[in-house]
Structure 1
Amino acid sequence: MAPKAAAARAQRGSGATSAESGRLAWALLAGSALRLGIFLLFPGLVAHYLSGRVELSTPVTSYKRLVEGLHLSAHGVSPYDGGVFHQSPLLLLLFQPLYYLPDVFTSAVYVAADALVALTLAKIATARKAGAAQQPPVPGETVFACAPSTVAMLYLFNPLTVATALAKSTVIFSHLSVAGALYFGVRRRVDLAVVCAAIATHLSLYPAMLIAPLALLAGGAQRRTGAIVAAASKFVAALVLLHVLCVAAYGAQYFAATVDFTLRVADLQPNVGLFWYFFIEIFDEFRSFFIVVFQLTALAFAIPVSWRFRQDPLFAGTMLVGVISALKSYPAWGDLALFLGLLPVFEDLLKYLQYTFLSANLLLYGIGLAPVFWHLWIEQGSGNANFFYAATLVYVFGQITLLFDLGTAMLRRDLDMRRPEARAHVVVQE
């Protein structure tokens, strides 16, 4: 009877896997159909409203600026001469063939990229679930239960994700590279993970922080120093090769217009971050000092976060994605969408979260008030910049609250795993 029972279990498992694959396919199709339908039915909404929203597009992710860069390049003028285009040459190489095609092809590329991000997040959830199944069960621990199709649906039907895709923000391609880096890292395919991380760095700069958890993944459970150093070296080599490619295609001036532009925060167009208002108000003689302080505030998290959560580098990478979303110089709602899309992968931390209501309300208030205060400031003239910046402060504080709560949840879970007898005890940190 034992062989029959084993065969029956295998058959049930195969059926469940097939059903889950079907649900994932339907989720991807439904999310793609929603985006493509809005693109086709409401072209004015996309072209004239969403693509200009400062909450969705920034000087380094704007589709309108990308189109201008493509136009300059098509007419034999360097897109980095005019001081308007500040995006990676990799995007020019991707969209150059689409420049001569109807706009529906460009829309289809954005839809496909968003679907690939969702699919990659689902594969990350599958890989983590498989890894958790190989570990010994923890008494009283919640079994990972968030299906990959659910992870994909939560990402695809998040209003922030939908709005970012409809605005044609190029941050989507950075998200695809980040998700790919984390997925290949979990699968121990170091070379592909490093290449994805290098591409994400060229597109958005701040994903360079992810090399720390990716190197730990390459080192394995033994934290082999040689493997960690090799992964970091490959990352640097990939960056150099991409730099050489970009220089060959568009000249060395691209570097000042992209990387240097982002680090210096040269364009103080309002966004949902912390930089723009502060550097409008700061005296010029203190500008360089505070730029270093603000940029290091984000970059300094890479090593300590990765090392503290070295037992789960995927979680460390997720935390750094949240840090990037909150502290980068040109953030948008799309950055938060990727961070929120990664959270269902860690469903087993849900019961440890303590400030879910607070962080959710802060994020909702920040997201809801930003368009209102922008309208009062820019369109009605009855407000001022303080209104909009107050909404961004609430929004960023909500992200930081969620990050601290998530980190505390992982630490508490780790303590419960190491000391099961202390599960009922309250931990007080002094």
Structure 2
Amino acid sequence: MKPKSAGDGGRLAWALLVGSAVRLGGFVLFPGLAARCLGGRVELSTPATSYRRLAEGLHLAALGVSPYDGGQFHQSPLLLLLFWPLRFLPALATDAVYVAADALVALALAGIAAAAATPRPAVPGETRFVCAPATAALLYLLNPLAIATTLAKSTIVFSHLAVAGALYYGARGRPRPAAVCAAAAAHLSLSPAMLVVPLALMAGGPQRRFGPMAAAVATFAAAAGLLHVLFVAVYGPQYFAATVDFTLRVADLQPNVGLFWYFFIEIFDEFRSFFIAVFQLTALAFAVPVSWRFRHTPLFAATLLVGIISALKSYPAWGDLALFLGLLPAFADLVKYLQYTFLSANLLLYGIGLAPVFWHLWIDQGSGNANFFYAATLVYVFGQIVLLFDLGSAMLRRDLDIDRPEAREHVVVQE
């Protein structure tokens, strides 16, 4: 990102420095908290993002055994390639990689906020509220959910880096690196493959030129295909079953903050395939209609899809919500249009606050059961859904105020 002035650049540098210092201080001053407590929290790490499972995969690879043969490692080979050299370095080097990745995510979010503020039209007579890039970065870096995710060493941080990079390059009018980042994000977490639709709209520009849009999709497909061929050549075809197929089938029903695990524990086996298809297609079905409805602001459509992924993916964690919230400062002018901020904020806070309590009652005390914890996840997911609908309605109302400023004081009733 190119700051507008030396002052903007200085504030952004301070934001990155403060956020990085908090994370590095957590690793150094509280190593037990990061390694034993947070690393094992199901709200922060899932079977698809656990650092402990990544360490096991690296150990198997060092022994000359395919990490995908043991049935425990289900993460992208990209992570094996990234962490392989770190095996020979002190643990602080791994900590520094996580801190650097989060700083890069914050830097990308700052660039997205700066890019989003420039081209959007304003409501006639409106005093626009724009979030400064440094503020956007700091809001993400000081988000307790983002800090806890990094200290837990959840590998979802690197998926967030790829997603943030894709949106940053897309917002900056660079479709090829955006498509490559989206392909990497899809290999890291699968669900971000949905973002190729708004990224293609960004590439097409306001005129929706078919050529650049098709080129962006082709670049995404080529990059994803080349990575797949590389991984098959190195790790064999079993990597695909252990990563992509594992995520689609929801093969590990370890509790998390999503909707899948409890439902598929209770469902009869003969109905499992049908409901897996329904659950997976529910999230995928939003990609095209959401992107097309907000085609005039594809970055906003991509932000909504990030929120939908956070709520409806197979193995969600609190870190997914941190990324979604980190994108919202780019649309600070929607704040005055939001109608259910109090409700969505309280639902999210209750869901986040109650999950550890109910987990303790269920697992540690034995005085609760799975229904307690799942109830907290339902509240948490419902809070995200309320926020998503509120954001979508706010953007539609703002568009109406721009197109018909004479109707700004009218109440819109949807039937």
Per the TM superposition, whether the score is higher than 0.5 is yes
String of CA shifts for 1:95-123, please: whole Å, max 9, x gaps: 00001211100000000000000001001
3-state SS of the aligned residue for 2:228? helix
* Alignment-derived partner of residue 86 in structure 2: 98
User: How far apart are 1:32 and its partner, in Å?
Assistant: 0.4
1:412 is displaced (CA, Å) by 0.4
The 5-angstrom pairing of residues 22-421 of structure 1 reads 22-132=10-120, 135=121, 137-421=122-406
Deviation at 1:16, TM superposition (A): 7.3
- Please give the TM-score of this superposition, normalised by the length of structure 1: 0.95
Distance 2:108 2:154 in 1: 19
CA distance in 2, matches of 1:214, 1:145: 23
> Separation in 2 of the partners of 1:126 and 1:41?
34
What RMSD in Å do the two structures reach over aligned CA positions?
Answer: 1.2
Aligned partner of residue 131 in structure 1, secondary structure: coil
Give, in angstroms, the shift of residue 15 of structure 1: 11
**Offset at residue 131 of structure 1 (A):** 2.3
Aligned equivalents of 2:369, 2:293: Cα separation in 1: 42
Once residues 184 and 113 of structure 2 are traced to their aligned partners in structure 1, the CA distance between those partners, rounded to angstroms, is: 23
Give the Cα separation in 2 of the matches to 1:343 and 1:128: 11
Counterpart residue type for residue 5 of structure 2: T
One-letter amino acid of the counterpart of residue 81, structure 2: L
Q: CA deviation at 1:301?
A: 0.3
Q: Give the secondary-structure state (helix, strand or coil) at the position aligned to 2:395.
A: helix
The question of whether the paired residues in 1 share the 8 Å contact of 2:3 and 2:9 is answered with no
- Runs of at least 5 residues in structure 1 that lack an aligned partner in the other structure: 1-13
Cα deviation code 1:294-316 (max 9, x no counterpart): 00000110000000000000000
Say which SS state the counterpart of residue 268 (structure 1) adopts. Answer: coil
Per-residue deviation at 1:184? Answer: 0.5
Shift of 1:140: 2.7
Contact 1:54 1:270 in 2 (8 A): yes
Q: Mind listing any 5+ residue stretches in structure 2 that lack a counterpart? A: none
Shift of 1:18: 1.1
Q: TM-score, normalised by structure 2?
A: 0.98
2:74–2:246 contact (8 Å) kept in structure 1: yes
Question: For 2:255, what is the secondary structure of its paired residue?
Answer: coil
Aligned amino acid, residue 189 of structure 2:
S
- Equivalent residue pairs, number: 414
